Structure 1
Amino acid sequence: MSPSKTAKKKAGTTPARPKKEATRKEVHSLEPVDTPAVGQSNGQPQSQQQEGRYVYGVIEARDSVGFGRIGIGGLGESVYSVHHGDVAAVVSKTPVFIFDPTRENALAHEHVIETVMKSNTIIPMSFGTVFRTDDDIREVLKSIYPSLKDVLKQMANKLEFGLKVTWDRDRIVEELKRENEEIHRFQHELTRKHLQSTYFARMQLGRMIDKALSERAAEVVREIYDGLRTVCVASRDNKVIGDKMIMNAAFLIQKDKETEFDAAVNAVAQKFGDRLNFKYTGPWPPYNFVNIRLKLERGSAN
């Protein structure tokens, strides 16, 4: 079957962000901002709360850039750039507090990222990243400038796509019982000796099926990667969730190769027909392929 591709700009809900499991570089950090939770004002009205800066990501830009009054929080705050040389953080003003990861807030965060991506390569920050001042941001941009330049160069004109593949586990188990010679022979022996209901027999059969499922899943995943390897710059495995998912991967694609990658995903999906279900999401900024995280993020609420 053809994969269902969820484009961020078309989705009714925010697609799940791939877990970032890359080893992060240790870099300069600031002291955390003391951030009361949303709804808490430390006895002060919101207008008197300490003002901070919500950071969405880092781009390459020497001149000031504005992205409109689309800042998180629903107050129509302008999204603008804070610079050190030719790198800049994309920020908006906000009271200093913890942002709950509600659907509204998550969509607002992603909308800014999406807007910036239209004209820039962006190193995305985690949701809820808040700092005190523009000067704090400039300080950290300066301290890790070489690393930022290197990452921005590597990620220039590249996009990330996610691919999750699931199967009907019960259907595959029945296939294995018919096709796997070892399992078929063991079942026949159990039937012959009337041992199907014994605890030991069930445990042994279960282990055999689990082993065969794991081997079949690995074989299928290899085939999928083989079909996509030539049209991507890099790929990354993420942890699968549940017993139906066999693949949870991220692919880094040259921006001008998106159509070619789409075609390759469809070709792989058609090869497996209705035996597999493909969920294809993107484009995203390169969450899974950025090996640096600004320790500015320690200023965010954790």
Structure 2
Amino acid sequence: MAVYVYAITAAAHPLRLEGVTGVGEQPEKLRTVNGGSLAAVVSDAPDGLKAKRRDVLAHQSVLERLMADGSVLPLRFGAVAPDEEAVQQVLEERADAYRERLSALDGCVEFHLKASCAKEALLREILLQSEEARRLNEEIRSGRGGQDLQIALGELVAGEVQLRHESFAAETVEALRPLARDIRVSDPTGEDFVSVSFLVEQARQSDFAAAERDLAEQRGEDFDFRLHGPLPPYSFVWMPEALEISPWVRSPKF
């Protein structure tokens, strides 16, 4: 029977699962699969699994219970293995890599930060600091400039915005880096100039959150900082050389 996999832990983890149930319309009972020095927390995989709020919260509740008692390799919602034997085989084959990751994540949580700056504020700054941008803008507003000048101004502004975004992102990461054990930077989307995950020791999470608030205040009201966490350290489960923590199929239906 296919099994739904929530997380990997050390076999010595307390694995206190009383009162917690798994995904499914009729919540599935949790159990463990042992593989040498490791264990995986699983349940039967319900048919037609969908990323419903009920099931996502159930998945999260299992991880939170496990994280309260020790280091955990959290799998994202939807990891399904063919059967318990497949889980046990992977635990044994990848034991060294999983133990290394468990050690690296021990006592840590993840905070994910995204931030953006108002377009209007960036444009004002560019026009104040760039003589060429002011010249082009004035010619266009006076009616002397045609489409070529508008294109030139657009390209100049886009380049300046990119430079400022890169600078803001670097400064943000460097300001918070001293409070993190590890960092994973991803490509920002939309209007954001930074999207970065921080691996933070649980004992330092209050200090980290306070440092982020201070940074947001220093930047001012033109900036929008959004900090999410503490979270299971999903972004740090993979090793730097991109070894996947889970070879199993992820197939939730949205």
Contact between 2:15 and 2:66, CA under 8 Å: does it hold in 1? Answer: no
The separation in 2 between residues aligned to 1:86 and 1:295, in whole angstroms, is 17
Give 2:6's aligned residue. Answer: 56
Deviations 1:140-193 (A, max 9, x none): 11111111111111111111100010121133213322332331133345556x
For 1:162, what is the secondary structure of its paired residue? strand
Q: Does 1:235 align with 2:183?
A: yes
Contact between 1:55 and 1:129, CA under 8 Å: does it hold in 2? Answer: yes
For residue 251 of structure 1, report the CA deviation from its aligned partner: 0.7
- How is 1:33-52 mapped onto 2 (pairs within 5 angstroms)? 51-52=1-2
- How is 1:239-250 mapped onto 2 (pairs within 5 angstroms)? 239-242=187-190, 244-250=191-197
Higher relative contact order (CA 8 A, sep 6+): 1
Q: Does 1:267 align with 2:214?
A: yes
Q: Does 1:214 align with 2:181?
A: no
Structure 1 residues 182-191 or 132-141, which shifts more?
Answer: 182-191
The separation in 1 between residues aligned to 2:156 and 2:234, in whole angstroms, is 37
Deviations 1:69-105 (A, max 9, x none): 411013232223211122111111234x342222222
Distance 1:262 1:84, change over 3 A: same
Give 2:105's aligned residue. Answer: 155
CA-atom RMSD in angstroms: 2.1
Q: Provide the aligned length of Structure 1 versus Structure 2.
A: 247
Give 1:16's aligned residue. Answer: none
Distance 1:226 1:114, change over 3 A: same
Contact between 1:122 and 1:152, CA under 8 Å: does it hold in 2? Answer: yes
TM-score, normalised with respect to structure 2:
0.88
Give aligned-pair identity as a percent: 25
Distance 1:98 1:294, change over 3 A: farther
For 2:49, what is the secondary structure of its paired residue? coil
For residue 115 of structure 1, report the CA deviation from its aligned partner: 1.9
Give 1:195's aligned residue. Answer: 144
Distance 1:131 1:201, change over 3 A: same
Give 1:81's aligned residue. Answer: 32
Gap runs ≥5 in structure 2 = none
Deviations 1:11-55 (A, max 9, x none): xxxxxxxxxxxxxxxxxxxxxxxxxxxxxxxxxxxxxxxx43210
Distance 1:85 1:62, change over 3 A: farther
Structure 1 residues 229-238 or 101-110, which shifts more?
Answer: 101-110
The separation in 1 between residues aligned to 2:128 and 2:245, in whole angstroms, is 53
Question: Aligned AA for 2:9?
Answer: I
The separation in 2 between residues aligned to 1:98 and 1:88, in whole angstroms, is 26
Question: Aligned AA for 1:140?
Answer: V
Give 2:172's aligned residue. Answer: 224
Give 1:297's aligned residue. Answer: 248
Deviations 1:111-138 (A, max 9, x none): 2222221112211223211223322211
Contact between 1:60 and 1:88, CA under 8 Å: does it hold in 2? Answer: yes
Question: Aligned AA for 1:217?
Answer: H
Question: Aligned AA for 2:169?
Answer: V
For 1:288, what is the secondary structure of its paired residue? helix
Deviations 1:214-263 (A, max 9, x none): 11111222221221121111222212121x21111111111211111112
Distance 1:119 1:266, change over 3 A: same
Question: Aligned AA for 1:179?
Answer: Q
Q: Does 1:186 align with 2:133?
A: no
2:94 to 144, 147, 159: 144
Question: Aligned AA for 2:202?
Answer: K
Contact between 1:66 and 1:78, CA under 8 Å: does it hold in 2? Answer: no
